[in-house]
């Protein structure tokens, strides 16, 4: 055992210079088991992807994505590159406010095509002037493009959260990939719907291990609470997703 530990420490020393500065800044999500899987928290300068488990779960995926954004960016300004036609509509200010996000802190960008969208994402990330960037993964974005975005995020130490279509099987350079399924909300003491809940699976994570949990987003205190731990159980494994 001692021997293995020494070997591990030696290996860590060896790769230490390879870990870039921006990868060292991590944001813990506040749930110990999840943070353990993430090796301490979400990497700040990096690309993170959130996908819905099915098409109908897209709003839930956006909700969880926004929860991650809030946990990493705090009250800093945000940039949201809007999709040309959101299947479930466009972000709604009063609803964002009710979810715990200040709509006034968000700059919304509209782009006419994928090329412009990628330009805008990269420009915002490299500037390093905002707390986080929200976008939609363009259909057919290849590994090169996603690596480029990841490097831009690293250069600007700005996290990029991309909503991934649920049937998108393209490989990517994302640091983490989450898959979100809708979950019935908590009900409060009076029987009204309370905090939103999500069944999330951490499908892919660089320097960490996957896991699956049910979490609750408290929009009043802006924190994520763990409801059940289903460690190392991923609902559906798709070999294509792990090719990268």
Partner 1 sequence: MSQTSGGWHLDAPCPVARQLGLYPGQLLSDARARVPTLITSPVNHARERTRLRKLSLWCTRFSPYVAPWSEIEAGAGGLTFDMTGCAHLFGGECAALHSIAEALAQLGLSVRLAMADTIGAAHALCRYGAKAQIIVDSSSQTEVLRDLPVAALRIDPQSVATLRHLGLTRIADVMDLPRAPLAARFGEELLLRLDQALGLVKESFSPILPHAPARVSAILAEPIRDQDHVLKLAASLAQDLMPLLERAGLGARVLSLNLFRVDGQVLRITLHLASPSRDPGHIIKLFALKLDARIETFDPGFGFEAARLDVTLGQPLEPIQAGLGQTTPDPTRLTRLIDRLTSRLGTDNVLRAYPRDTHDPERAMIMKPAGAPGRWEDWSLRPLLLLPRAEPAEVLALLPEGPPLQFKWRGLHYRIEHAEGPERIAPQWWRNGESPTRDYYLVEDRAGHKFWMYRDGFYDAPRPPRWFVHGVFA
Contacts with partner 1 by CB under 8 A lie at 56-57, 59-60, 62-64, 66, 76-77, 86, 88-99, 102-111, 116, 119-120, 123-124, 127-130, 181-185, 187, 192-193, 196-198, 217
| CA atoms of 193 and 185, how far apart (whole Å) | 6
Closest separation in Å from C-beta 69 to partner 1: 12
| Residues facing 193 on adjacent strands | 187
Question: Which residue's CB is nearer to partner 1, number 78 or number 173?
Answer: 78
Q: How many CA atoms lie within 13 A of 19 on its CB side?
A: 14
Closest separation in Å from C-beta 217 to partner 1: 8
Which one, of 146, 216, 205, 141, lies nearest residue 178 by Cα? 205
Question: Which residue's CB is nearer to partner 1, number 65 or number 145?
Answer: 65
| CA atoms of 78 and 71, how far apart (whole Å) | 12
Closest separation in Å from C-beta 126 to partner 1: 9
Question: Which residue's CB is nearer to partner 1, number 101 or number 173?
Answer: 101
**H or E element in which residue 92 lies:** none
Question: Which residue's CB is nearer to partner 1, number 123 or number 142?
Answer: 123
Closest separation in Å from C-beta 33 to partner 1: 22
Which one, of 122, 160, 138, 121, lies nearest residue 83 by Cα? 138
């Amino acid at each position: 055992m001692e021997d293995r530990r020494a070997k591990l420490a030696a290996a860590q020393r060896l790769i230490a210079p390879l870990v870039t500065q921006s990868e060292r800044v991590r944001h813990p999500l506040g749930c110990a088991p999840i943070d353990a899987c993430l090796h301490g928290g979400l990497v700040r300068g990096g690309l993170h992807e959130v996908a819905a488990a099915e098409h109908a779960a897209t709003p839930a995926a956006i909700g969880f994505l926004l929860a991650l954004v809030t946990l990493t960016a705090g009250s800093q300004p945000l940039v949201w590159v809007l999709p040309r036609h959101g299947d479930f509509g466009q972000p709604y200010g009063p609803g964002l406010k009710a979810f715990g996000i200040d709509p006034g802190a968000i700059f919304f960008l509209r782009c006419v095509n994928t090329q412009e969208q990628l330009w805008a994402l990269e420009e915002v990330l490299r500037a390093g002037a905002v707390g986080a960037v929200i976008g939609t993964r363009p259909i057919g974005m290849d590994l090169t493009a996603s690596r480029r975005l990841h490097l831009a995020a690293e250069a600007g130490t700005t996290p990029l959260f991309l909503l991934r279509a649920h049937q998108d099987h393209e490989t990517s350079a994302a640091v983490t990939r989450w898959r979100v399924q809708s979950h019935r909300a908590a009900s409060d003491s009076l029987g009204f719907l309370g905090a939103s809940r999500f069944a999330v699976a951490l499908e892919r994570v660089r320097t960490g291990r996957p896991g699956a949990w049910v979490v609750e987003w408290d929009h009043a205190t802006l924190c994520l609470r763990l409801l059940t731990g289903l460690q190392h159980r991923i609902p559906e494994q798709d070999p294509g997703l792990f090719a990268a």
